[in-house]
Chain A
Amino acid sequence: MEKNKKGTVKSVFKSPYMFLVPALLFYTFFWLLPVSLSLIESFTSIDGGFSLENFKMMFDDPLFGEAFRNTLIFAVISLFLQFIFALMFALLINRNFKGSKWFLFIMLIPMAIPPSAVGILWNTGLVESGWINSLLSVTGLQNLIELLGIAEGPIIWKEASGLQAVFMIILIDTWTVLPSVMIILLAGLQNFNEEYSEAARIFGANRFQALKDIVIPIIKPTIITALLLRIISGLQVWLISVMIFGFNNVPFLLERIVFYTDQVRLGVYSYKLSVTYSVFVVAVVSITAYIFIKLTKGKDWSGTSE
């Protein structure tokens, strides 16, 4: 009897599912708990009952609309830009030209720069006597800008606002994260059987058609992974905006969260507000990811069964 019991206890511990227990505990405590907590918090009023007043408060935030709009514009446009450029560079590097190793090495540098260092880097550039204006002046582009009447005198980048500022942030973000998109696409291309596109070219496709009809559809799962990760983090932009333009100037959804948690100390109200923003961001991310997956879903050809 004793022995038998011991045997079953032992077999429970030997079950392969034991490997999953640490993860289960971890995510229950440190993911499910905070997520449910924030859901509850956002849908309850301060006295504890169910209420939507937190959401009303969020919508009443004068910067909510702009933050929402900026976030979406940023995510979509940066995704598009980054995909095009990352694919282009990945195709270049994949051609294995002389020096492609070095080129890859250089292209990967921005990936290794922590975001706050990126903030500093571009701050040193965007101040009036910064390196961007230096570069313009040294290369003579400044003269061209003045000649074309785009600006008089050195451009004061940090005074940009609205969509212009959003576009600046998009460019900076693209510079920073391009390598990480590129490296995933490159992995896809390197696993790609070159004979597929060679076959296409023999059967009548030019290089572009081979890319469009054969390469991209075949590495599509890789592309979708890369872009999904990108759009998820694209919706989380805030740091560059704050480091360059400060709070409240170029608002984003996450910028609002950080603003209400870190900058304003209204006690429970700012906590409620940032929790509500958090829930809202999660909703936006999930919906966007869902739409993205739906939109990019093609026929499933990978199956091995009928």
Chain B
Amino acid sequence: MAYLELAALKKVYGKDIEAVKSFNLKVDKEEFIVFLGPSGCGKSTIMRMIAGLESVTEGNILLEGESIIDYQPKDRGISMIFQSYAVWPHMTVYDNVAYALKLRKISKEQIDKTVKEVAKISDIYQYLNRYPNNLSGGQRQRVAVARAIAIKPKLFLMDEPLSNLDAKLRVSMRTDLKRIHQELKTTSIFVTHDQSEALSLADRIVVMNHGYIEQIGTPNEIYHDSESMFVAKFIGSPPSNFLTVKVKEREDKIFVIHSDFELEVKNKYKKALKNKYINKEIILAVRPENFTINKKGILKVKCNIIEPQGSHVVINIFVGGEEIKVVSNILTLKTNEEIDLGFSEKIAFFDIETEKRIR
């Protein structure tokens, strides 16, 4: 039995705005799940349904095997961090953390103990008597974390908690969140549209688009084994390159043909292509780092633009009129230099119609 189960969850706003369309997910205890997707894809809506702030149109939410959709938010044993932190401005940091405990009618001494404990964990001990308006964004963020962990929730929801922080703080905060998760092991769901956040935090990532799940998987699976063109495009920076190619069969060998090159398909995809796609167009997807340069390549191209990134360079190249981006650690490449481009083993094919992976 899963710890948290979202079963065919659906949300319709008004008459016909389908924010979430049949959402299925099983979360194990102590897992850290990240919802990743573009703006407006329904991430917040799902979180709010789990928290009880939004009614469920259809489907069910089971926590420890028990349906919670008829419970008030306060009775669900869930805590949440909001994008705006929602740290109450009229209470001191101490009272912010203690409020939930007071409502639970816990003794004063116990509250004091808990508040101080979580304040230490989230590193706000010295600010306990301040009002939130006298704290920086990062400090407020920590107060929100302290408040959320103080009640020892069954489930910890975070809706883009880091998006209001500056870039540097965001990175350090995310390390802190990961540390806190490893310490407390609270089952967590984290929403973001920042892929690097998702990749670095998640046990599993749920990639969403238009209220659908595109793919569920570990960060590695999502990145290296993208199930759809949407995921391949959404994850990775720069994202995956797409080239339209035609499948041909010659003397029992399978080739994909592009105006500028031909590539023999040798690996596991050979069979799949042969079965369904002979003489059809498909999409060849290659991540920028999965090219080879000057190592027995299959086409000669000119480096169009070179963007140095310190540890590596991003090269823009035209292949048959389409621009692709290639990442290389050869830092000495020059604009207009001719290179010998090849593909590594890690390439993927997508159906041009369904945009799904061909396996």
Contact = CB atoms under 8 A, between A and B. Distances in A.
A contacts B directly (C-beta below 8 A): yes
Interface of A: 193, 195-196, 198-206, 209, 213-214, 217-218, 220, 298-299, 301-306
Given A195-B84, A304-B134, A203 B79 contact: yes
Given A202-B53, A303-B133, A195 B86 contact: yes
A198 B132 CA distance: 18
Interface of B: 51-53, 72-74, 76, 78-80, 82-84, 86, 88-91, 99-100, 103-104, 131-134, 147, 151
Contacts of B104: 204
**Minimum-distance CB pairs A-B, first 9:** A203-B100, A204-B103, A195-B86, A199-B86, A301-B131, A201-B73, A195-B82, A217-B90, A204-B74
Contacts of A213: 99
A289 to B, nearest CB: 23
Given A218-B90, A301-B131, A303-B133, A205 B103 contact: yes
Contacts of B103: 203-205, 209
B89 A203 contact: no
B19 to A, nearest CB: 17
Contacts of B53: 198, 201-202
A200 B131 contact: no
A196 B86 contact: yes
A190 to B, nearest CB: 16
A98 to B, nearest CB: 10
A200 B73 CA distance: 9
B89 A302 contact: yes
Given A209-B103, A217-B90, A218-B89, A202 B134 contact: no
Contact of A204 (B82, B91, B100): B100
Given A201-B53, A205-B74, A209-B103, A214 B134 contact: no
Contacts of B51: 198, 202
- Which has the most chain A C-beta neighbours within 10 Å: B52, B83, B86, B89? B86
B291 to A, nearest CB: 46
Contacts of A203: 74, 79, 99-100, 103, 147, 151
A199 B103 CA distance: 13
B74 A198 contact: no
Nearest to A196: B86
A167 B290 CA distance: 83
Contacts of B86: 193, 195-196, 198-199
Given A199-B86, A202-B53, 14 more contacts: A193-B84, A195-B82, A195-B83, A196-B88, A198-B51, A200-B99, A202-B74, A202-B80, A203-B79, A206-B74, A301-B90, A301-B131, A303-B134, A305-B134
Contacts of B83: 195
Contacts of A218: 88-90
